[in-house]
Amino acid sequence: MVMRIVDLRSDTVTRPTDAMREAMASAEVDDDVLGYDPTARGLEEEMAKMMGKEAALFVPSGTMGNLICVMVHCDVRGSEVILGDTCHIHVYENGGISTIGGVHPKTIKNEEDGTMDLVAIEAAIRDPKGSTFYPSTRLICLENTHANSGGRCLSAEYTDRVGEIAKRHGLKLHVDGARIFNASVALGVPVHRLVKAADSVSVCLSKGLGAPIGSVIVGSQSFIEKAKTLRKTLGGGMRQIGVLCAAALVALQENLPKLQSDHKKTKLLAEGLNKMKGIRVNVAAMETNMIFMDMEDGSRLTAEKLRKSLTEHGILVIPESSSRIRMVMHHQITTSDVHYTLSCLQVRLLISFLSIRSTFFTDI
């Protein structure tokens, strides 16, 4: 029996659409290391224009995009980057900026809304007079939307303020914009305005946009030239990448307009979950396509038990901790999938509630 699958593990799980596959099959290609693959050039020019930057470069992943940007900005030994303690670069990229980039991380607490306190950022900047002992600060990194805070959006004004601090101290600003389009749609602010203050941005094509592979980094012409060299150094120089970029161009056309509906489906799911006994969802903090669902205090139902039980109904989720499950919306989840998920969860939570009650009575 073919089971219904509702894959809420991440927005990285989408499959290429038929239109993407057709575009991949007929893509015009060339050797991108030896020159420019024409389809890659088209995507890079489109992305640079959308982001309001001089140039862009296709890279195999968001992790490599962030690493290249940090390494280009911090090209002097003993460099330090200020970044959030729960940001993706610090938590999920194997410490690559240090192990490969030789860059020292200086973490600052991420607030619940994904920001870092502006005073704390400025206070973390090393005094150049201390260079005998300390690393030298060269870069500040932000993440918009901020994944570990549940997909919260950073405002353009906040990013501008961080940019002003960076400029005041001769530093650069990088934005990990894996889901910058989600922030743009949620805030109703064009992406180029959100990243105006940034010297570089890494944008994932493979998340909410639904492309099968890749990210694009944007910045000044000279920055992108250095990034291109570093991409090759890291083994990211690829040949006929037009096959991948063609899918990304379709994704921009097809799925960018669907992000708003992803957020609506996320809200529908969150509001439904919030009515259920045994779990808690902070609907007010839900701004884009992510939901953190917390088990009620004292619940004997763990995130892992609930994950297993949901999997039996074809609903795939990832526990964030023993008592928290993350659900991420994307264009291949339908409203009917949302209702199906809510009904399965309702039944499972009722069973858990009744089993506690029955234990309680048998214990008397």
Ligand X SMILES: Cc1ncc(COP(=O)(O)O)c(C=O)c1O
Site residues, ligand THR (CB under 6 A):
10, 12, 92, 147
Question: What residue ranges in the chain does DSSP mark as E strands?
Answer: 6-7, 55-59, 79-84, 104-108, 136-143, 172-177, 200-204, 215-219, 279-281, 290-295, 315-316, 318-321, 324-328
The reply on whether position 176 binds ligand X by CB under 6 A is yes
Among 6, 50, 147, 273, binds ligand X (CB under 6 A): 147
Nearer to ligand X, 110 or 215 (CB): 215
Judged by CB, which is closer to ligand THR: 126, or 331? 331
Q: Residue 63, preceding bond cis, omega within 30 degrees?
A: no
- Shortest distance (Å) from residue 89 CB to ligand THR: 11
CB of 146 to ligand X, least distance (A): 7
Residue 332 interacting partner from ligand X, ligand THR, none (CB closer than 5 to 8 Å by kind): none
Q: Which is nearer to ligand THR, 151 or 236 (CB)?
A: 151
122 vs 320, beta carbon nearer ligand THR: 320
The CA distance from 176 to 171, in Å, is 16
Stretch that binds ligand X, among 59-67, 191-199, 263-271, 272-280 (CB under 6 A): 59-67
Tokens of 4: 């219904």
From the list ligand THR, ligand X, none, which binds 346 (C-beta under 5 to 8 Å, kind-based)? none
172: closest CA among 180, 162, 181?
162
CB 209 within 8 A of CB 248: yes
Query: Encoding tokens for residue 25?
Result: 């099959």
Beta carbons within 8 Å of 285's beta carbon, 6+ residues apart: 112, 113, 149, 150, 152
CB of 211 to ligand X, least distance (A): 10
Q: Smallest distance, Å, CB 170 to ligand X?
A: 26
Options 137, 184, 200, 206; binder of ligand X; rule CB under 6 A? 206
User: Rule CB under 6 A: is residue 110 a binding residue for ligand X?
Assistant: no
Q: What residue is closest to ligand THR based on CB?
A: 10
Q: Which residues does 292 contact at the CB level (< 8 Å), separation at least 6?
A: 150, 281, 282, 320, 324, 325, 326
Give the torsion sign (CA, 74, 79, 82, 88). Answer: positive
Q: Which is nearer to ligand X, 11 or 44 (CB)?
A: 11
| Helix/strand number for the chain, H first, E second | 14, 13
Are 59 and 248 a contacting pair, CB within 8 Å?
A: no
Residue 88 contacts ligand X per CB under 6 A: yes
* Nearer to ligand X (CB atom), residue 27 or residue 216: 216
Question: Are 286 and 267 in contact, with CB atoms under 8 Å apart?
Answer: yes
Number of residues that bind ligand X (CB under 6 A): 12
Is 143 or 279 the residue whose CB approaches ligand X more closely?
143
Closest-CA residue to 103 (of 139, 133, 129): 139
Residue number with CB closer to ligand THR (237 or 319): 319
Could you tell me the two tokens for 76? 């002097």
Q: Beta partners for 321?
A: 324
244 makes contact, choosing from ligand THR, ligand X, none, with CB < 5 to 8 Å by partner type, with none
CB of 228 to ligand X, least distance (A): 19
Choose the contact partner of 36 out of ligand X, ligand THR, none; CB within 5 to 8 A by kind.
Answer: none
Only one residue has tokens 């910058």, namely 180
Residues that bind ligand X (CB under 6 A): 12, 61-63, 88, 143, 147, 176, 178, 204, 206, 215
